[in-house]
Amino acid sequence: MAPHAVYGRCKPLALVYVLYLVGCASGLNVETSVEPGGTVIDRMVNNEIGVEGEGEYSDYAMDGSTMDLVGVVHYCYLDASRHREPGGATTYYLEFSYTGPRELYIERRKSLELVIDGATPVVLVGQGEATREQDKMNKTYVESFKYLISVHTLVRLTGAKEVGVIVAGRDFVLNGYFVKKNFANYKTFVKDYVE
């Protein structure tokens, strides 16, 4: 009896370890949190997109590395998230984050466009207020904004060959694009989190 009891306790730990390895192998990082009102948020994190004029990658030039490339000055992330309300409603967002030496100053609610395989841009509507910080020591600006996205558009991203990301700020327009890793991350996110 004792060996079965020990096996019974170890089995779930082994299963958790296997699931953790599967999650790591895909390269997708998802954090789950619960808001005070009970909304459960599953958010993709650190899904860095390419920025025109700065090479294909910035801080993940090599998988598993946090080494920065010389000359890279803008870092942009486009993370998908799922928000599940206690009553059962589910909403999806893209969360855009920017760090750079110039203030982007995202101010318009419809400031993010996705150009999927050269088709007419999909304009996403920002939700709430953009967050802004200035890091005076490193002389950088940090901004983020959350955009409502439909399930249909999320699914389109998984089957696309190329995706351009245009973010209109007050002082300049940032042009980004999906790299190979982004497509893989969105496919995994849609498979695991889109109902």
* pLDDT tens, position by position, 20-49: 333 444 568 999 999 999 999 999 999 999
Looking up tokens 């439909």, which residue turns up? 150
11: confidence class by pLDDT, cuts 50, 70, 90: very low
How crowded is the C-beta side of 1, counted as CA atoms within 13 Å? 0
Q: What is the pLDDT of residue 108?
A: 76
- Give the residue, 94 or 74, on which the prediction is more confident: 94
In CATH, the number for domain 29-193 is: 2.60.40
- Residue among 146, 75, 85, 82 at smallest CA distance from 112: 146
16: confidence class by pLDDT, cuts 50, 70, 90: very low
What gap in Å lies between CA 114 and CA 166, rounded to an integer? 7
pLDDT digits 0-9 by tens, 112-147: 999 999 999 999 999 988 999 999 888 899 999 999
Virtual torsion, Cα 21, 22, 24, 26, nearest 10 deg: 160
The average pLDDT across 145-165 equals 96
Q: What is the pLDDT of residue 12?
A: 35
| 125 within 8 A of 110, measured Cβ to Cβ | yes
Return the minimum-mean-pLDDT range out of 5-14, 58-67, 109-118, 172-181: 5-14
Return the minimum-mean-pLDDT range out of 56-65, 84-93, 131-140: 56-65
Return the minimum-mean-pLDDT range out of 1-5, 26-30, 78-82, 86-90: 1-5
| 69 within 8 A of 192, measured Cβ to Cβ | no
Q: What is the pLDDT of residue 13?
A: 33
Residue 140, token pair as written in the block: 């950088």
161 pLDDT above the threshold of 80? yes
Q: What is the pLDDT of residue 83?
A: 97
The average pLDDT across 65-90 equals 80
Cβ neighbours of residue 3 closer than 8 Å, sequence gap 6 or more: none
Residue 183, token pair as written in the block: 């497509």
Q: Rounded mean pLDDT of the chain?
A: 81
What gap in Å lies between CA 65 and CA 10, rounded to an integer? 33
Q: What is the pLDDT of residue 72?
A: 57
54: confidence class by pLDDT, cuts 50, 70, 90: low
Q: What amino acid is encoded at 4 in this protein?
A: H
